[in-house]
Amino acid sequence: MEAIKMQLPCNFLPQEDGRCGWYEMLPEPPVATPLRGEVKADWVVLGAGFAGLAAARRLGELQPEKKIALIDARRVGFGAAGRNSGFMIDLPHDLSSHSYTGAQDSDLRQIRLNRGAIDYMRDIVKRYAIECDWQERGKFHGAVEPHGIRALEAFAKGLSQLGEPYEELDAHAMKRITGTDFYRAGLHAPGAVQVQPAALVRGLGATLPSNVTLYEDSPVRNIIIGNPHTLVTDLGHLQAPKIVLANNAYAAQFSQLGLKGRILPMYTYGSLTRPLTASEQQTLGGEESWGLLPADPMGSTVRRLANGRICIRNSFTYNPNVRASAQQLKLVLAAHQRSFNKRFPMLPKVAMEYTWGGALCVSRNGGAPFGEINPGVFSAVCQNGLGLTRGTISGKLIAEYALGIKSDLLDYALLQPKPTANPPEPLLSIGVRSTLAWKEWQAGIEL
């Protein structure tokens, strides 16, 4: 089928969105290679996050004789792939459910897909000795008040029905691990992996197959869909007959591809404290490092790192222009400090050193526009908040799908529902913002 010629202007481009501690803690990267002049490739992958890095790697692995171009507006690790809390989650993680779980058959397929991503990533991290603090230690969930405890119980029930192992923890056990008596109940599930996200994606970018060329600091301002497709940057043009879209929430501006009005650009936010001093670490007690998700998906994610810093993540906003405003970052910093102070009153002098936002792409029904959405245009966008695993497996599988390689995992990915249509504006903005406000209010102290 001939590609229908159309223009996809990229008016919303990745922005600064605050200073991300994970990225700032890394050494300066080597000088970037931006796209310059007229470049031709067999494949172009737009976006070097989890999905794009996996798609480009897999295309490179499967077609060593072909030229694959991977292009990003910023440095690898600067975008959401380097801005998250670093949980590679194997279990269902439906942010719109009050207990993360949903229908059993789709949860089981999601677990298989997520574990496929972890297996693929583990192999790469080991093979190339990528230093990213890869820790196979699962994740804790923590609950504070009756609302959170009910969500935790529902999650535990969901896991039992799925036949997944977990351990329930009481307030004493939670204090022994975290050092704080803030949590009244908890749960440990063993399958998740924790990483330093910016280090992981930088390592992935540095170890791509030799037939993949990575162009960084190259914002794509326009895409001309045709035969071949042309990506226009400030310094050049990149042409390829096939394109993989792995540009996360920025794809929500592509109305001509039917993505606008079905996928939603959301933001969530992280902060990292300064390193605790030795005496502060002693005062806190607990284990040297751990990672905890909130029982209520609207609560706070907390990680204590072996380097003495504590990471807080909370707050969701609907940002249709795919950027965090200075005002949002200011409010979030205050919210993160409040969440920190509630959990760690024994550390009154510890402030946040970095605060940042990052884009999530979600759909109202948790579906994704996975597949060939236009002739020669393949989509691996919309990870519904689970980018480390869902992004990785979407990228790997879209490459296999495009090359006709069949597998059970690919069948599961294709069985995902397509995103349902959103209501028109202004109903959409009003609806999303009021739902978020209501859910945050319900989350109460879990935040």
Closest CA to 22 of 228, 311, 322: 311
Helix (H) or strand (E) holding 231: strand 229-232
Spatial separation of the C-alpha atoms in residues 108 and 113, rounded to whole Å: 9
Task: Tell me the HSE value of 320 on the side-chain side, using a 13 A CA sphere.
Answer: 15
Q: Is 199 in the site for ligand FAD (CB under 6 A)?
A: no
Considering all CA atoms of the chain, what is the largest pairwise distance in Å, rounded to the nearest integer?
A: 67
Please state whether beta strands 212-215 and 193-194 pair in parallel, antiparallel, or not at all (unpaired).
Answer: unpaired
Where do we find the tokens 């810093």?
309
Q: Is 313 in the site for ligand FAD (CB under 6 A)?
A: yes
Say whether 433 sits in a helix, a strand or coil. Answer: helix
What is the closest distance, in whole angstroms, from the C-beta atom of residue 313 to ligand FAD in the complex?
A: 5
Question: Contacting ligand FAD (CB under 6 A), which of 182, 183, 250, 412?
Answer: 250
Name the segment binding ligand FAD (CB under 6 A); options: 138-146, 267-275, 345-353, 403-411. Answer: 267-275
Q: Is 309 in the site for ligand FAD (CB under 6 A)?
A: no
How many C-beta atoms surround the C-beta of residue 4 within 10 A? Answer: 12
Strand order in the sheet with 377-379: 212-215, 68-71, 43-46, 242-245, 377-379, 371-374
Question: Contacting ligand FAD (CB under 6 A), which of 270, 297, 299, 366?
Answer: 270
Question: Contacting ligand FAD (CB under 6 A), which of 18, 23, 84, 280?
Answer: 84
Q: Is 121 in the site for ligand FAD (CB under 6 A)?
A: no
What is the closest distance, in whole angstroms, from the C-beta atom of residue 304 to ligand FAD in the complex?
A: 15
Which residue number, 144 or 312, has a Cβ lying nearer to ligand FAD?
Answer: 312
Question: Contacting ligand FAD (CB under 6 A), which of 57, 58, 83, 304?
Answer: 83
Spatial separation of the C-alpha atoms in residues 184 and 167, rounded to whole Å: 15
Say whether 184 sits in a helix, a strand or coil. Answer: coil
Question: Contacting ligand FAD (CB under 6 A), which of 72, 164, 217, 440?
Answer: 72
Which residue number, 72 or 440, has a Cβ lying nearer to ligand FAD?
Answer: 72
Question: Contacting ligand FAD (CB under 6 A), which of 18, 21, 52, 297?
Answer: 52
Q: Is 240 in the site for ligand FAD (CB under 6 A)?
A: no
Task: Identify the sign of the CA torsion 35, 39, 43, 46.
Answer: positive
Per-residue contact flags (x/-) with ligand FAD for residues 147 to 186, judged by CB under 6 A: ----------------------------------------
Residues of span 85-104 touching ligand FAD by CB under 6 A: 85-87, 89
Task: Identify the sign of the CA torsion 409, 379, 90, 365.
Answer: negative
Spatial separation of the C-alpha atoms in residues 116 and 128, rounded to whole Å: 19
Tell me the helices (H) and strands (E) count for the chain, helix number first: 11, 21
- DSSP alpha helix (H) spans, 41-144: 50-62, 104-127
Spatial separation of the C-alpha atoms in residues 83 and 23, rounded to whole Å: 8
Name the segment binding ligand FAD (CB under 6 A); options: 61-69, 243-251, 275-283, 399-407. Answer: 243-251
Q: Is 225 in the site for ligand FAD (CB under 6 A)?
A: no
Per-residue contact flags (x/-) with ligand FAD for residues 351 to 390, judged by CB under 6 A: -------xxx--------------------x-x-xxxxx-
Name the segment binding ligand FAD (CB under 6 A); options: 26-34, 45-53, 333-341, 418-426. Answer: 45-53
Which residue number, 358 or 376, has a Cβ lying nearer to ligand FAD?
Answer: 358
Spatial separation of the C-alpha atoms in residues 15 and 180, rounded to whole Å: 36
Which residues contact ligand FAD (rule: CB under 6 A)?
10, 13-14, 46-52, 71-74, 79-81, 83-87, 89, 219-220, 246-248, 250, 268-270, 313, 358-360, 381, 383, 385-389, 391
